[in-house]
Every structure is written in structure tokens, then in C-alpha cells.
Structure 1
């Protein structure tokens, strides 16, 4: 099994952080959000942004399920980090994978960050709260072109949380420069059948059965934001992973 490609930043002897992107996302999408934080830190950190199969123009490597992606991540960790201690970050579906990895490498994890984590893979069973904008501005929203509304997903039920001109302009720029290229680079012929079949989009009992019953004692943060990406993050508080 070939190793997954990565983009690694920071000192080679820095404490490793493995960063797993969300579904159809790329190392660049995670770097866009995290690097402004990491570059201001005085702590030497080696940030390992990993590209998942079928995403970021990475070959799909014959994956047929989320289990296959999980096993590629396990192979990467065993081959590159070995018995070293490391920190783990995952976003959305990447956070779902990170949860399982945190249980497998329980005694090597120094910290865990789960950003808008996917908890329930089956769409109809997700605990999704209704989101209301924190700052409303009908003038800004009504001035959006049809193209911009489609870009932001507004016509498909998406909501802009902060409706200021500056925030909306930055969100549009991020969508055009970060999210759209990531989605266009994904191998949808391989990924869509997995995403459309909950049996393949859900980690199997074989994978989840690796839980020993021990609790992760490392510092853990869960960043949840209602129905972002429809991840069903409300389940995070009843899933029993954060104890």
C-alpha cells in the first residue's frame, strides 16, 4: 500500500500534528484555516496535512468505503509516525475518521481537535439544529447576484451566519479560491457511490470495534456549529466519545 501524499509545514523536529480534511476537501482547505493560527505560535509544530484517496487529485487507490480510507490513514501513521506521540485534527468527515484513529492510537495522542465533526453518517438520523444568523442584514443579502447565491448555497437552504458586507465578500472569495477547486479536483466517480450508500459511508463495526473501552485523557476540543455541512454535530454531545 503506497503512502498517502502530504504537505508538511514547520520544523522537521517539531511535534507532529496530523490534519485530516473533510469530504472532497484538500490539504489546502485546512491550511487556509489553520496556518494563520500555527504561524503565530512559538511552539515548534510539524503540521502534516494529508490528502485522502480520491480527493485533492489524489488517486482513488480502489477505495470502495470509508473503511478503506481509514486503513490508508492507519498505514500512513504506522509507517511515518510509528510509536511517536502526535496530535490529531479532523474536520467534518475527517473528524469522524479522527475519532476512530484517536481510539486506535489512544496512548500516542497528545491532543485532539474535532471541527464540525460528522457524527451520524446517515442523513435522516442526524441531529441538525436550525441556524439563525448572528448578524442579519437584508440589504447585503438581497444585493447578492444569482451566481453568488448559488456559490454560497443559499438557494439550497444554506445560511450566511454573519451578514456583513466584509464577511460575505470574504466567504465568497474563500468558496471560489478554496472550496470550489477542492470539489472540482475530487474523483466523484469513486466518491459519490460511497457518499450515497450509508453502509459504505459509515465506519464498520470491525473498525469501531477496536475501541478498548478506555477513555482518551488527552486535551480534546469539539468545535460544533449547528447544521454546518449537515454534519449532525448535535450528536457530538451524546456520542460518548468525548468523555
Structure 2
């Protein structure tokens, strides 16, 4: 599906009916990664209308030249939500840079958000990021990009990378991504989202680490934090059962029962 936002034709995949869920992918990939990572759990949970957009500069989204910063990307997302979701509070899910955008959306319009999920979140001022240390490694397996992303370097993970990550990498609109990446920081909000938050980090994440994710407990009064051993920045692929179980339980207990 496509929706025009001031000249940017946003491509997105929509599944199911019910409470809206906006799922945002990280930088340098597209909706195929988040669809593969989160759809099994969200579909099984039921009662959710899942939206997986290609962010500006990625996938099949055709980005207007006026989109030249992360703030512009956030503006596109805000309009997209206003137009296709309406007033119903939604759940925001983000991985990596997608989590950075999800946080900003929640902090700026907390009344619109029923829950916030941050997986391996990219955060300004990240600190204590561990060096790359594969949990399972084979020096002859995959290319350098695969080995820099996955700490579980097995044939199964390589197949996963080739199926749902690499195609998105190849589909990146490089000039647009570079233009946005040069101005990637978002202005901080005076408000803080006070609703239910789930933060999941990989203990072996050498891209954003996990220490900054722990710091979020001090910002969000209803945050649940899980640090997963044996997983890195590719946690949604490397620990799908763990992530799926945590997410499913959190959706039921934190959002539906107490949201």
C-alpha cells in the first residue's frame, strides 16, 4: 500500500484489524526486516492492526527532496499516523533507529500512544558499547556486513540475513539516506511518555550496547527492561523466541490489562 505525505509516497504493509501498531525498522534496511521479526508474535497475539512502513530513504518509499533530516522523517510519520490511524491510541514498536523515532513520537504526543516497544534502541549519548564479540563464529561464513551485524554467525542466521535484511540494504536510496543521516538527531521533548514501555537490549550488542537502554528506566516510570544474553544488535533474529515471549506477555499484562 502507498500513502502520499507532501510528495513522499510512503510504502507500507498492513496486516490484521484492531488496535493499531506502527512498527519502525532501523537505518539501512526496510520493512521486510521488521515484518519478519515482529509479525509472527503480533499476528499470534491477535486484535492488532499492524503497519510496517518503509521509512524515507528506504525500500519502496519514494522520498521528496524536502525530506532532509530526522525531524522531517518524524513529520512524515506523524502525518501518516494522523491520516491512516486517526485518533485511536496506537502501540509504537521500533528497532534500532526505528526505536529512536518511536521514542520521539511517544514523547511528543503521549496521549496518542497506548504502549512503546524499544528493541536495541539507538540513543544519543550511548556509552559503554562493548566490542564485537561473536557468540558463535565462523570466519568463512557470510560477508563483512553480516559478521558486523550478527553475533550468532551460523548458517541459519546467514540464511535469515540474506532473506530479510540484505534485500532491504540493497533497496536503500543512498542519496536520500545520506541526506537524512547528516541531520539525524531529533530535538528532545519537554514531555516524557508515562505509559507502558518495553525495552529489550542485547548483551552482546556492539552497535548501540545495552548500558544506555538501562538508563531509560530512569526516564520512563512504567518501563520494563530485559537484557538478553547471547544476542547482539540482530536480537530479533538471534533470539526470536525470547523476544516473542516477552512481547506477547507485555502486550497482555502491561497494555491490555493495565494500559
- Give TM class, smaller chain: 0.7 to 0.9
- Does the CA-based 8 Å contact 1:21-1:93 persist in structure 2? yes
Residue 33 (str. 1) matches residue 30 (str. 2): no
| CA apart distance, 1:130 | 3.7
Match of 1:188 in 2: 174
Q: Give the gaps of 5 or more residues in structure 2.
A: 1-5, 222-259
- 2: distance between equivalents of 1:60 and 1:159? 26
Q: Which 5+ residue runs of structure 1 have no aligned equivalent?
A: none
The residue that corresponds to 2:12 in the other structure is 6
Q: Which residue of 1 aligns with 2:144?
A: 150
- Compute the displacement of 1:6 (Å): 1.5
Q: How does 1:99-114 map to 2 (within 5 A)?
A: 99-114=103-118
Give the 3-state SS of the residue equivalent to 1:230 in structure 2: coil
Question: How far apart are 1:38 and its partner, in Å?
Answer: 2.1
Instruction: Give me the TM-score of the superposition, normalised by structure 1.
Output: 0.78
- Deviation string for 1:118-171 (max 9, x for gaps)? 002x7xx6431245455x5xxx625x35xx243523xxxx375446xxxx1121
Structure-2 residue corresponding to 1:222: 199
Runs of 4+ residues over 4 Å off in structure 1: 131-134
- Distance in 2 (CA, whole Å) between partners of 1:227 and 1:191 is 27
CA contact (8 A) 2:31 2:54 kept: yes
Q: Equivalent residue for 2:83?
A: 79
Contact 2:110/2:193 (8 A) holds in 1? yes
Partner of residue 141, structure 1: 138
Higher normalized strand content (fraction of residues): 2
- 2:149 and 2:64 map into 1 onto residues whose CA distance is 36
Is 2:25–2:97's contact at 8 Å kept on the other side of the alignment? Answer: yes
The structure 2 residue matched to 1:48, chosen from 40, 48, 51, is 51
Deviation at 1:105, TM superposition (A): 2.0
How far is 1:220 from its partner?
0.9
Structure 1 distance, partners of 2:206, 2:13, is 25
Instruction: Specify which structure has the bigger relative contact order, considering alpha-carbon pairs within 8 angstroms and separated by 6 or more residues.
Output: 1
Q: SS state of the match for residue 111, structure 2?
A: coil
Question: What is the aligned residue count?
Answer: 213
- Contact kept, 8 Å, 1:66 with 1:202, in 2: the verdict is yes
The alignment yields a C-alpha RMSD, in angstroms, of: 2.4
Question: For 1:75 and 1:227, how far apart are their aligned partners in 2?
Answer: 36
Bigger CA radius of gyration: 1
Equivalent-residue separation in structure 1 for 2:84 and 2:76 (angstroms): 12
TM-score, normalised on structure 2? 0.73
Partner Cα distance (2:93, 2:36) in 1: 14
User: Cα offset for 1:57?
Assistant: 2.7
> 1:160–1:55: structure 2 CA closer, same or farther, 3 Å change rule?
closer
